[in-house]
Structures are given as structure tokens and as C-alpha cells.
Amino acid sequence: MQHWDHECDVVVVGSGNGALTAALSAADGGATVLVVEKAPQFGGTSASSGGGVWIPNNRYAIAARAEDSMEDARDYLRHVSPRGIIDPELLETYVTEGPKLIDYLHERTNWVRYRNLAYYPDYFPEGPGGKTGNRSMEPEPLHASALGPDFKHLASQHPQTQMPGGINFTQEEGAVVLAATKGWFRLTAKLVLKYLLDFRMRLKTVRDGRLTMGNAGVARLFLALKDRQVPVWLSTPMQSLITNGDKVVGVMVTRDNRPQFVRAAKGVVLAAGGFERNQKMREQYLPAPTDSSWSAGNLYNTGDAITAAQKLGAATAQMDWGWWFTTAKVPGHPKAYLSQVEKGLPGSLTVNLQGQRFSNESQNYVSFVSDMLKNPSNTPSYMIFDADFRKHRPVASVLIQG
């Protein structure tokens, strides 16, 4: 007879956007829910990300009078999805139910709010159904005071998504500041002044009280869960799934330095991220060469949920694919820096070990790295630029000089 230390209807493993949304939905469906998170802070990869969500025909795009349609969204996804891999039913569900999800989050919570990104293009805007904007959203900024003492448990933004000193900006603001387009200096000064004048935060912490991007998105979902009194256990890694016959009935976790057994009467949701920090899994599944230190992802993403499910015979697919980015390792930083801005700007080029260009630097980052992975000699690559580029453009962790 299994002994249970804790019982609930649904256990959600992970605390990023997907996990917290699943927990919210389960709670609103009448289930008792528990969220368990391996890290000492909540938010996972989502917290350190740009916070963007791609859902065509969402309420914010409609309010902006975007020219789009369900059929255009279907055409685009069919165009970019590998044939024989993507389930047509799943594609249709994403197109039709995605906008309803955003409606649900907006209408059923007091916290979850997004804003339309009018000029953030699809990866392939020239393709069938592609658009140059109005499909991606980013979270509305939120002040950290809304979290109260839970703010210290919110995982930090990646320093690349901040200005020097840890000053946050939105995606729209970042597009101006990082690319040094018209008005960048005035905007930078405004953000710095806002940071300095936030006296209630400056007396407590160096972290910016104005939450943006991934931090804002995770914080808003967390607050919605808090309204529903859903507990989030931090520093609680899942060790294994517990079964009864062919059914998963709970999880074993480590909490307070001891194993605890949690019963999940209605199910376990695995939403614990990828395996970018697991060198063995990278070598098993990803194209070579590969190294976990090249990742800008969450330090706790070691594929625990994937391996736990595999032990029970769960099927996997597309394990050799990722959300590809070129990165640069910066001395003194545990996470690599993405080069999504500077790589595509005029005045630079990227070459491989033979000094040869192998792709169009200005295309979307996923396609660029896909070209990069076609030949092992493309890794590492070298970004070449002159003094004028360096003066006016950001490079990895070092921002504009002049």
C-alpha cells in the first residue's frame, strides 16, 4: 500500500508559462492543484525569455484591426511545418483554440494581460499566409510590488534582456535601444530615470521593479494562481513518476532534503522544460558538435521530466530539433548570450572555420542555425565587424560604445 505525504487532483511539474497555464486551467475546472518546481525560484525558461506568445487572430491583434484570418494562419503553419511530422488535428486545434486561450486568460483572471506586437514578423513572412506583424504578443509590464514577498522567488531575466545595471525593457523598447534606431538615447534615459526614481525598490534591491518580457508574463500567471490559492513548491525536483498498473497516480519529489510522495488523483502534467543543460542527452539527440555551455537556457533544464516519461514507455519526437539561436560565451556569465540582434544588422558577416559564409545572416535565427548545423565545420563560427559597427551596435553583453 503506497503511503502518500500529500494528495491532490493534479500535479504540475514545472513553473514556466505552460506549466502555470495548465495549473490555472485545472484549478478553474474544479481540481485541487499542486505545482512543483526543481529550482529555488519559479518561472523557468519563460521567466528569462522575451515573453513572446505567437497566436494569430488573438484579441489584441483584432483590437488593433490587424488584417489576418484563420485560413491565413492555417496556410502559414502548413507551409512551415515538416510534412508527415505535424498532426493536422493538432495544427487545427492550435489555430482555432489559441485565440480562445488568450480570451480565457484575459476574461477569467485579473492579471494576465498582453499587448499586440504590430511589427514583429513571422519567421517566413513572405510564405503562404505569412504576416509582417500582429501575430505575436508580449506581456504588459507589471510592478514587482504586486508580488509582495514572492518577488524574491521570481527567477531573473537573462541579463541580455536588460540594459546595464539590470534595467528592464519591453520587446518594443528593446528593438529601439538594441538596434540604436531613432530615439534610442531618449528612451534609454527615460528607462534609467524611471529605475532610479523607484525609491521603494532601490531601498530593497538592485533588481528593477518594472517587470517586463518573460518576468512580467510569469508574474502575471503566478498572481492568477495565487488568487486561486494554488501552492507552488520550490526547490522540489521530481524524482520519478509513481504508477499503479498502467496508470500514473502520482510523483515522488525531494522536498526539505527528503523524499515525499504526492498522489495525483486525476493526473500529472509534465511541463518541465528541455534538456539543454544535459550534455549526455545533447550528445544523444542533437547534431554534433554540441555543448551545454553554449546554451542561454535555464540552468535547471536537464531533461528530468523527459527521462521520467521515457522510463514508462512514453513516445518522443523531434528530439533533434530546438529553438535554434547562435550564441556567444561571455566570460563570467553562466549563460551564453544570444546574437539575434547584432548578427542580422548591416555591417557584419558570419564565417565558419574556413572563413566562408554559409547562410544569410539577416534571416530568422532558426533557419540560420539550421544552415549552420549542416556542416560541423560551421561550429564555432566567427562574426566579423569593423570599429564603426562596434561603436553603434551592441555585441553580446557589451552595448553601444558611443
pTM as predicted: 0.93
| DSSP labels, 69-112 | -HHHHHHHHHHHSPTTTS-HHHHHHHHHHHHHHHHHHHHH-SS-
Does the pLDDT of residue 398 top 70, yes or no?
no
Q: Is residue 356 part of a domain?
A: yes
Q: Is residue 50 part of a domain?
A: no
Q: Is residue 331 part of a domain?
A: yes
Does the pLDDT of residue 180 top 80, yes or no?
no
How much is the average pLDDT of 277-293? 95
Q: How many domains does the chain have?
A: 1
Q: Read off the pLDDT of residues 235-246 as tens digits, 9 standing for 90 and up.
A: 999 999 999 999
Q: Is residue 349 part of a domain?
A: yes
* Contact criterion met (CB below 8 Å) for 66 and 134: yes
Q: Describe the strand order of the beta sheet including 238-244 as a list of residue ranges.
A: 232-233, 33-36, 6-13, 258-270, 247-255, 238-244
Does the pLDDT of residue 340 top 80, yes or no?
no
Residues 6 or more apart whose CB falls under 8 angstroms from that of 322 comprise 274, 276, 286
How much is the average pLDDT of 131-159? 97
Q: Is residue 97 part of a domain?
A: no
Longest dimension (CA), the chain: 71
What is the per-residue pLDDT for 401? 42
Q: Read off the pLDDT of residues 1-10 as tens digits, 9 standing for 90 and up.
A: 789 999 999 9
User: pLDDT band for position 394 (50/70/90)?
Assistant: confident
CA dist 328 → 14, 331, 381 (Å)? 27, 10, 10
Q: Is residue 381 part of a domain?
A: yes
How much is the average pLDDT of 336-360? 89
How much is the average pLDDT of 211-232? 98
What is the per-residue pLDDT for 400? 47
Q: Is residue 169 part of a domain?
A: no
* CA distance between the termini of the chain: 69
Q: What is the Cα 272 distance to its own chain's centre?
A: 12
Q: Name the phi and psi angles at 113, rounded to 5.
A: -140, 140
Q: Is residue 388 part of a domain?
A: yes
The partner residues of 139 in beta bridges, in order of sequence, read 114
Dihedral angle sign, alpha carbons of residues 109, 110, 116, 120: negative
**What's the domain range around 361?**
327-392
Which of 46-55, 83-92, 381-390 shows the lowest per-residue confidence on average (mean pLDDT)? 83-92
User: pLDDT band for position 397 (50/70/90)?
Assistant: low
